[in-house]
Amino acid sequence: MTHPNIIAYENVENFDSFSKEQFEDYCNLKINDCSKHINFIKKNILNFRNDIEKSKICEIGSGNSKLLYALEKNKLISSGIGYELSKSRVNFANKFGEFTKSKIIKNVDQDFLLDKNPLNSPFDLIIAVDIVLQLISPINIDQEEKALKWIRKNLKNDGYLILELWSLSNYIELIEKQNGIFRKWESYSAEDPWEFCLAEISRMTNGDIIWDKTFLKRNKANERSFFRNILRPYSKDQISNLLKKYGFEVIKFFDFWETSDDSVEEEYIVLAK
């Protein structure tokens, strides 16, 4: 049986569901959303202050590749590769690249672990934001180990890793208080074709979190989309010990990118070298 995390994002950000104007507004919104990441990289990574035009970057779980395009727009990258399992998102990312007139970003519809000789490896920076590691680890028993070994192998000795993670301790507490399942509604900005999302959150016996989402289409409440994610909670101590195990010596934690309101509660950023 295919693990839900492998197929969860298929048909997400389907290019055909956007009008030309909606697509352009959406792309501009996503690029603007990356300003906090850009400022974080400029401030905290020396390589990008001293030799930014030679920076080779890999993003794992790149989605629509907005961050790679934002790095290119800000002239902080010489080449970039993004790995994304969802064919619809890679197609969207390629259209996004046409919109930004990208010249140096390659989007790959493939499991990054299957690529033994990545384009322009070793990298100056490997990025796994939007809790990507927490989606990778539950797929099978040795996926966490494979992912971190691949990252270490394909990162320069003086290169950096950025992770964005979620401790999920509050949700674990809420699940327990709500007799095993916690539900919440979320709304999206006007540029998004989906208006609302109902999340239903529960916990597996091994401690991983089941996160089911039902999306309602804007102005078409009867049109819905569903996907399931399995997430692995990581505390700061757990991720620190894990990264040290795979050869990272400098590990710094940040509770937000730039300001205290630019991350969701209990989310944190890891900068490792």
Q: 118: which 2 tokens?
A: 């990545």
Examine the domain organization and report whether 122 and 175 are in the same domain. no
Compute the average pLDDT of residues 161-166: 97
| Shared-domain flag, residues 197 and 77 | no
Asked if 157 and 185 sit in the same domain, the reply is: no
Q: In the Cβ-directed half-sphere of 14, how many Cα atoms lie within 13 Å?
A: 8
Report residue 257 as tokens. 């990118």
Do 190 and 82 sit in the same domain of this protein? no
Q: What pLDDT was estimated at residue 92?
A: 96
Instruction: Give yes or no: residues 219 and 259 share one domain.
Output: no
CATH number reported for the structural domain that contains residue 35 in this entry: 3.40.50.150
C-beta separation of 80 from 74 below 8 A: no
Q: Same domain, yes or no, for 39 and 101?
A: yes
Instruction: Using alpha carbons, select from 94, 80, 81 the residue that is nearest to residue 23.
Output: 94
Residues 140 and 254 in one domain: yes
Tell whether 12 and 108 lie within a shared domain.
yes
Residue 49 binned pLDDT confidence (cut-offs 50, 70, 90): low
The range of the structural domain enclosing residue 175 comes to 170-226
The answer on 201 and 77 residing in a single domain is no
State whether 202 and 247 are in the same domain: no
Pull the structure tokens for residue 39: 């400022």
pLDDT digits (tens, 9 = 90+) for 98-147: 999 999 999 999 999 999 999 899 999 999 999 999 999 999 999 999 99
**Rounded Cα–Cα distance for residues 241 and 134 (Å):** 16
Per DSSP, 165 falls in state E
User: Are 154 and 176 part of one and the same domain?
Assistant: no
Q: What is the DSSP code (8-state) at residue 17?
A: G
Number of domain units in the chain: 2
pTM listed for this prediction: 0.90
The span from the CA of 92 to the CA of 88, in Å, is 6
User: Is residue 87 located within the same domain as residue 219?
Assistant: no
